[in-house]
Structure 1
Amino acid sequence: MSRRREPIPFAFLAEADTFRSNVTPPPRHRASFGEAAGRWLLGLTVVAGLVGALIIGMPALSTPSDAPVPQSQASQGR
């Protein structure tokens, strides 16, 4: 391993790419069937709520195209 002769700030960062740990990480915890089903059900509930809000909100977002434009009585009198 070669060392730099000039001091550099944060020298430990320069050596971090050559560091190898001899500690193995613990094995990943697999979710049980109940946890996986709960996550799936929660995701499905969120998506269904968003779709339901969009379906309920569509009439408020649309403009009626067949309704005539209302005119005030003052403009009809002249």
Structure 2
Amino acid sequence: MFRRREPVPFAFVAEADRFRSNVTPPTRPRATPSQIAGRTLIGLTIVAGFVGSLMFGMPALDSQSHQTQQTQQSEATDGR
């Protein structure tokens, strides 16, 4: 990109990308032990929910073993 040779009417607009504030933001307050424990419990609850849904969901989605169990049961009742 080329630079303009004519002066910019507002110098602060031209220097806006280089501007740095001299005001430092306030420091973040540290989390209390109860907040840390609460966040940990929430995280563990979410993970336990995912694990539980996988434990209960995977057998329900396994259609192959479900069909073989039905076939074995029907053969056992037919043989009597």
Q: What TM-score bracket applies, with the shorter chain setting the length?
A: 0.5 to 0.7
The residue number in structure 1 matching 2:61 is 61
- Which digits, 9 at most, give the CA deviation of each residue in 1:30-58, with x for residues without a partner? 11110011001100100100110110111
The residue number in structure 1 matching 2:34 is 34
Letter in structure 2 aligned against 1:66: T
Separation (CA, whole Å) in 2 of partners of 1:32 and 1:48: 24
Q: Secondary structure at the match of 1:46?
A: helix
Higher helix share: 2
Query: Identical aligned pairs, as a percentage?
Result: 56
Point out where structure 2 has 5 or more consecutive residues left out of the alignment.
72-80
Q: Deviation of residue 59 (structure 1)?
A: 1.1
TM-score in terms of structure 2 length = 0.62
The residue number in structure 2 matching 1:22 is 22
Q: Secondary structure at the match of 2:68?
A: coil
The residue number in structure 2 matching 1:52 is 52
Q: Secondary structure at the match of 2:52?
A: helix
Separation (CA, whole Å) in 2 of partners of 1:35 and 1:17: 39
**Pairwise CA RMSD:** 2.8
Highest relative contact order (Cα 8 Å, sep 6+), 1 or 2? 2
